């Protein structure tokens, strides 16, 4: 049994090494370890993995064994040789061929988010995002910084779509949306949530509203099996008319913006609503006192380093919605990463 002092030191070490854990995950994904093991007809040794990935045998062995400790891989020893294969976790979320693969998001976190977090201290000092420090781009127009190249826009769009294969149904099913046959997903990006929506509600149609560049990229690079029920509409949600709809969805949009900008957007949506219409806000909700859950707090700090916004408590969303004229505000926590508020 370790002493309280040793336990505290262990906790501190765990925290300070947290970034190493992320990097093991990012590197294994980037090198294609999980895809290789998924495609191999049988478990592979470190030398075989290194040969097929073109990596060093020393580094590969260290990486694979660390992945075992993180439960990303499992190992069995046969005639003195360690053979590796994917665990259920990696097969489900890290293999490219899996419908729930989160690989695009991990790539975005590794290549963009991680670099912004390297400037967290400065972000706390300044109270603003760190695109200038991390990438040398000004961020007075937030999405010009986020979409600083065509490649970066595609990475962002691919990354953001991943979570909806896992969390889409819980958030869209938190309320019965079947009374809303025409839905507009405002800031709907690649249409990933729209796809989940048309699959969960077979009678609904979804118009995805986003910037002209995003709409163009979505139409060029993303496929739509339900194309007849998903349409795209390009514009600026702070200025241009919004498409007609029974329900407007705002998923991970309000958390990008200050209260003032959120109020402006919500007032525009309220103005576009028909009687009986509504808005569904999908965000990661903070606890009532703002002190948890840890994931939502980390997301809020992420908003500090990458956007102009923050995560909010249910009361903060209620106040924004009420000020824009919405009534009958209901919050549902899903138990997953994202929660739903219908107003």
Ligand X SMILES: C[S@@+](CC[C@H](N)C(=O)[O-])C[C@H]1O[C@@H](n2cnc3c(N)ncnc32)[C@H](O)[C@@H]1O
- Give the binding site for ligand X (CB under 6 A): 143, 160, 187-189, 193, 210-211, 214, 236-238, 251-253, 256
- Per the omega criterion (within 30 degrees of 0), is the bond before 323 cis? no
Which residue, 254 or 286, has its beta carbon nearer to ligand X?
A: 254
Least distance from ligand X to the Cβ atom of residue 276, Å: 24
Residue sitting closest to ligand X (CB):
187
**Residue with the two structure tokens 């402006």:** 264
Instruction: Supply the DSSP string of 72-89, one letter for each residue.
Output: SEEEEEETTEEEEEE-HH
- Judged by CB, which is closer to ligand X: 27, or 337? 337
CB of 116 to ligand X, least distance (A): 14
Is 328 considered catalytic here? Answer: no
Identify the active-site residue in 58, 221, 255, 328.
255
| Smaller CB separation from ligand X, 84 or 180 | 180
- Rounded to 10°, the helix 192-200/164-172 angle is 50
Which one, 189 or 207, has the nearer CB to ligand X? 189
Contact between 21 and 67 (Cβ < 8 Å): no
Query: How crowded is the C-beta side of 180, counted as CA atoms within 13 Å?
Result: 29
What DSSP designation does 308 have? S
**Nearer residue to ligand X within complex by CB, 103 or 187:** 187
Q: What is the Cα 122 distance to its own chain's centre?
A: 24
CA angle 319, 257, 117 (to 5 degrees): 125
Rounded to the nearest 10 degrees, how much is the dihedral formed by the CA atoms of 175, 176, 180, 185? 40
Tell me how far, at minimum, the Cβ of 238 lies from ligand X, in Å. 5
Task: Provide the pairing of β-strand 81-86 with 278-283.
Answer: unpaired
Q: Where are the beta strands (DSSP E) in the chain?
A: 73-78, 81-86, 182-186, 205-210, 230-234, 247-251, 278-283, 330-332, 339-342
Q: Distance between CA atoms of 11 and 41, rounded to whole angstroms?
A: 40
CB of 86 or CB of 167, closer to ligand X: 167
Measure the CA–CA gap between 317 and 285, rounded to whole angstroms.
Answer: 9
Q: Which is nearer to ligand X, 33 or 189 (CB)?
A: 189
The answer to whether the beta carbons of residues 53 and 60 sit under 8 Å apart is yes
304 and 310 in contact (C-beta within 8 Å)? yes
- Cite the active site residues: 255
């Amino acid at each position: 049994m370790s002493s309280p002092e040793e336990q505290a030191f262990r906790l501190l070490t765990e925290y300070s090494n947290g970034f190493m854990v992320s990097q093991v995950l990012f590197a294994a994904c980037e090198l294609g370890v999980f895809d290789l093991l998924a495609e191999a007809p049988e478990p592979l040794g470190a030398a075989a993995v290194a040969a097929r990935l073109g990596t060093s045998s020393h580094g590969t062995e260290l990486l694979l064994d660390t992945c075992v400790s993180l439960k990303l891989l499992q190992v069995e020893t046969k005639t003195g040789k360690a053979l590796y294969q994917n665990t259920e976790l990696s097969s489900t979320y890290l293999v490219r061929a899996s419908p729930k693969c989160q690989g695009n998001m991990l790539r975005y976190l590794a290549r963009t988010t991680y670099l912004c977090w390297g400037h967290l201290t400065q972000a706390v000092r300044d109270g603003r995002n760190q695109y200038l420090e991390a990438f040398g781009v000004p961020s007075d127009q937030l999405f010009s910084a986020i979409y600083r190249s065509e490649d970066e826009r595609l990475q962002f769009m691919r990354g953001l779509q991943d979570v909806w294969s896992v969390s889409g149904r819980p958030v869209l099913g938190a309320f019965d949306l079947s009374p809303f046959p025409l839905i507009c997903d405002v800031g709907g990006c690649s249409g990933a949530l729209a796809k989940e929506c048309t699959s969960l509600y077979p009678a609904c149609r979804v118009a995805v509203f986003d910037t002209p560049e995003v709409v163009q990229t979505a139409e060029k690079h993303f496929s739509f099996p339900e194309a007849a029920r998903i349409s795209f509409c390009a514009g600026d949600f702070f200025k241009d008319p919004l498409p007609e709809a029974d329900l407007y969805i705002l998923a991970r949009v309000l958390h990008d913006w200050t209260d003032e900008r959120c109020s402006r957007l919500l007032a525009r949506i309220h103005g576009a609503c028909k009687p009986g219409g509504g808005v569904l806000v999908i965000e990661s909700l903070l606890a009532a006192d703002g002190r948890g859950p840890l994931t939502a707090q980390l997301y809020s700090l992420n908003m500090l380093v990458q956007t102009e916004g923050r995560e909010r408590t249910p009361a903060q969303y209620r106040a924004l919605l009420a000020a824009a004229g919405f009534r009958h505000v209901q919050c549902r926590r899903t138990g997953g990463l994202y929660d739903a508020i219908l107003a």
